[in-house]
Amino acid sequence: GAVVSQHPSWVICKSGTSVKIECRSLDFQATTMFWYRQFPKQSLMLMATSNEGSKATYEQGVEKDKFLINHASLTLSTLTVTSAHPEDSSFYICSAPGTSVSLRRNEQFFGPGTRLTVL
């Protein structure tokens, strides 16, 4: 089946630094990708929609200047957490719709997630 990877799988950084997380669709192309954040024992919260060739669309309450998204190609989206603070510590997950590889309605393929810890 279709695979989505994320890199790194975990990262620890100091407060005030920036961290980049990559999301790749390995065997299919995705003009759209989604970024989620998940705190312990909570559900996934959609942060933004990454669009290849255009600006990302952010959900209400998500700071676009803090969470920079770049959809560099049809297989790569990056999320940069700028000036990270301890409250940004979370599990970040990306997904890509498998429109080109799945007959199911809007089947999303999720990455394994990136654990960010800000000290």
Partner 1 sequence: LAKTTQPISMDSYEGQEVNITCSHNNIATNDYITWYQQFPSQGPRFIIQGYKTKVTNEVASLFIPADRKSSTLSLPRVSLSDTAVYYCLVVGGRDDKIIFGKGTRLHILP
Answer for which of 67, 71, 78, 113 binds partner 1 (CB under 8 A) is: 113
Cα angle for residues 41, 36, 97 (degrees, 5° grid): 125
* Least distance (Å) between residue 43 CB and partner 1: 5
Contacts of 70 (CB under 8 A, 6+ apart): 50, 56, 77, 78, 80
Binding-site size for partner 1 (CB under 8 A) equals 26
CA distance 25 to 5: 6
CA distance 81 to 13: 11
110 is a contact residue toward partner 1 (CB under 8 A)? yes
Q: Considering beta carbons, is residue 4 or 84 the nearer one to partner 1?
A: 4
Binding mask 44-83 for partner 1 (x = CB under 8 A): xxx--x----------------------------------
14 is a contact residue toward partner 1 (CB under 8 A)? no
CA distance 66 to 90: 15
* Least distance (Å) between residue 112 CB and partner 1: 5
Q: Which residues bind partner 1 (CB under 8 A)?
A: 4, 31-32, 34, 36, 43-46, 49, 91, 93, 95, 97, 99, 104-113, 115
